[in-house]
């Protein structure tokens, strides 16, 4: 038998979908979260000896999510994850940290009704907390926000070889699904307010310039977020270029001055970038933990 050792490990209960309704007045409020909890710590014996003495059951982790939603409420996904981390690391000496994540789904009132809602936000809000001892690293963001502009975008000046068929254009549709995450430098934050600000900055930046490429636009989005929000150290984007090709209508005797397009779902360009403060410390370990174990 080969000599082996246990290195990194974590475990927990994934995708606990909790809906917290506030019924203090006839006008109800709600928060809708999908929460995952994974613990880090001294779990060596569980793996090597089958000794479960330190294994806080995943069912207990699930129950804690729902109990904390009642006891402490849900003011923001980020604050709720900090509450869970504080509970597990203070309740069990051998739990030294963990990874807690949440997705939030946005609801709005139907015609201002007191207790009837519809799923209103096109994007899904995200938060991930990684705790290692006394160090907290908090990453927030969203995905699934589809945006499109019908002009003020082009793509020219790129290298060409014998395989290049794409023609240059100074007037095209630019469309993408925005997926973004930003890393906080502190947890002393009004998370809901910062989320609204970042979302607004990203949307307004998409509209306010002539885009020479999706890379050009993502960089300006990141620059504007960093400029406006002191608590953010860096921001990442992963965005497909949702190609819209001008349809050739000449066989039908029709001109097409950028009015009718074929929207191709694949293949697509995939543009990714990280924009950070000049003085920010790079934390590849945090991003690796945020994106998952395998």
Q: Which domains does the chain possess?
A: 1-133 (3.10.270.10), 140-294 (3.10.270.10)
Q: Specify whether 216 is catalytic.
A: no
SS3 243: coil
Confidence of residue 186 (pLDDT cuts 50, 70, 90): very high
Confidence of residue 292 (pLDDT cuts 50, 70, 90): confident
Residues 203-216: tens digit of each pLDDT: 999 999 999 999 99
The answer to whether 232 and 183 have CB atoms below 8 angstroms apart is yes
CA pair distance 78, 138, nearest whole angstrom: 8
Residues 83-138: tens digit of each pLDDT: 999 999 999 999 999 999 999 999 999 999 999 999 999 999 999 999 999 999 99
Q: Specify whether 54 is catalytic.
A: no
Catalytic-role residue among 40, 62, 242, 243:
243
Catalytic-role residue among 54, 58, 150, 187:
58
CA pair distance 139, 149, nearest whole angstrom: 29
Q: Specify whether 115 is catalytic.
A: no
pLDDT of residue 291: 84
pTM of structure: 0.94
For the segment 34-53, the average pLDDT, to the nearest whole number, is 97
CA pair distance 138, 13, nearest whole angstrom: 20
First to last CA, the chain: 25
Q: Assess whether pLDDT exceeds 80 at residue 294.
A: no
The neighbour count for residue 269, using CB atoms within 10 Å, is 13
pLDDT of residue 293: 78
Residues 6+ apart with CB under 8 A from 117: 30, 107, 108, 109, 110
């Amino acid at each position: 038998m080969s000599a082996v050792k246990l290195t990194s490990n974590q475990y927990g209960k994934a995708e606990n979908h909790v809906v917290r309704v506030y019924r203090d007045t006839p006008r109800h409020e709600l928060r809708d979260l999908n929460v995952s909890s994974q613990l880090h710590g001294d779990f060596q014996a569980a793996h090597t000896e089958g000794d479960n003495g330190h294994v806080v059951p995943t069912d207990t982790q699930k129950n804690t999510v729902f109990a904390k939603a009642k006891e402490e409420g849900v003011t923001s996904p980020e604050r709720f994850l900090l509450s869970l981390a504080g509970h597990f690391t203070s309740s069990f000496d051998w739990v030294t940290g963990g990874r807690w994540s949440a997705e939030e789904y946005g609801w709005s009132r139907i015609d201002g009704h007191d207790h009837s809602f519809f799923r209103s936000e096109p994007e899904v809000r995200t938060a991930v907390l990684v705790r290692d001892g006394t160090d907290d690293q908090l990453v927030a963001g969203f995905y699934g926000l589809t945006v499109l502009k019908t002009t003020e975008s082009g793509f020219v000046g790129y290298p060409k070889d014998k395989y290049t068929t794409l023609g240059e254009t100074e007037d095209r549709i630019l469309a993408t699904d925005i997926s973004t995450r930003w890393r906080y430098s502190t947890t002393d934050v009004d998370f809901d307010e910062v989320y609204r600000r970042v979302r607004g900055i990203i949307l307004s930046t998409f509209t306010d310039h002539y885009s020479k490429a999706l890379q050009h636009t993502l960089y300006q989005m990141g620059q504007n977020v960093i400029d406006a929000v002191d608590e953010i150290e860096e921001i990442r984007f992963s965005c497909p270029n949702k190609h819209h090709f001008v349809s050739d209508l000449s066989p039908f005797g029709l001109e097409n001055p950028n009015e009718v397009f074929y929207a191709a779902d694949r293949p697509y360009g995939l543009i990714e970038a990280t924009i950070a403060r000049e003085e920010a410390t790079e934390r590849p370990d945090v991003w690796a933990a945020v994106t998952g174990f395998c």
